[in-house]
Amino acid sequence: MGTSYTPPTNPDWWREPIERTELLWIVISFAWCLFMFGWMIAWHWIGNQNMNNEAYKTTVEVYTKKVDDQLAKYTVRKDEASGDDVVAPPPGSDVYLLGMQWQWRPILELKKGQTYRLHLSSKDVVHGFSLQPENINFQAYPGYEQVINITPNKSGTFSIACGEYCGGVDAMGHHTMLGRIYVKE
């Protein structure tokens, strides 16, 4: 038998019998791999960290019209900090959020304990939707509409940051791409 730096003297080294302890470790390793593989699949359903969502093909024009219709129907005020529109759709309704360089619009005002269908899409490039401090992450693609059922369980102000580098040469505003969701009692 050779060492790690010399070739084996027997060209049929792989036919030699496996020692009992080595065989035990191979069986343990294989069983562990099977367990982890099964656990990863099961954790998708029992772990509660993966949100189930729907996705639909759309166009930028159609989705932008949905956002504009929501703005016209549910705008309640201008945000004091940014001057952006704040919309407060009724519980159970569809809520539309549009990512574009360098903003998420509109600002949403939702009610704690109520369920909404949150629609996400992008107007220009791939954007990341990272809801902080809850650590919920999605990607918004132009031409696709993702729908997530959400039920806010905490009141407060939540920030939306873009977790994808959405720029190219003119990426000067990427770090300012922030949105907001207010959750009221």
Q: What is the pLDDT of residue 131?
A: 87
Of the candidates 127, 132, 133, which has an alpha carbon nearest to the alpha carbon of residue 164? 127
Q: What is the pTM of this model?
A: 0.71
The one-letter amino acid code at 157 reads: T
Exposed, middle or buried by CB within 10 Å (0-12, 13-18, 19+), for 145?
A: buried
Count of CB atoms within 10 A of residue 66's CB?
16
- Judged against a pLDDT cut of 60, whether residue 69 lies above it is answered with yes
- Judged against a pLDDT cut of 90, whether residue 70 lies above it is answered with yes
- Judged against a pLDDT cut of 80, whether residue 13 lies above it is answered with no
85 Cβ partners below 8 Å, 6+ apart? 71, 75, 78, 79, 105, 106, 107
19-31 pLDDT, tens per residue? 899 999 999 999 9
Of the candidates 105, 108, 121, 103, which has an alpha carbon nearest to the alpha carbon of residue 55? 121
The full set of domain ranges for the chain reads: 1-50, 53-184
100-114 pLDDT, tens per residue? 887 888 999 999 999
Block residue for tokens 């027997």? 10
pLDDT band of 3, cuts 50, 70, 90:
low
Topology of domain 53-184 in CATH is Immunoglobulin-like (2.60.40)
DSSP string, 1-40: ---TTS--SSTTGGGSPPPHHHHHHHHHHHHHHHHHHHHH
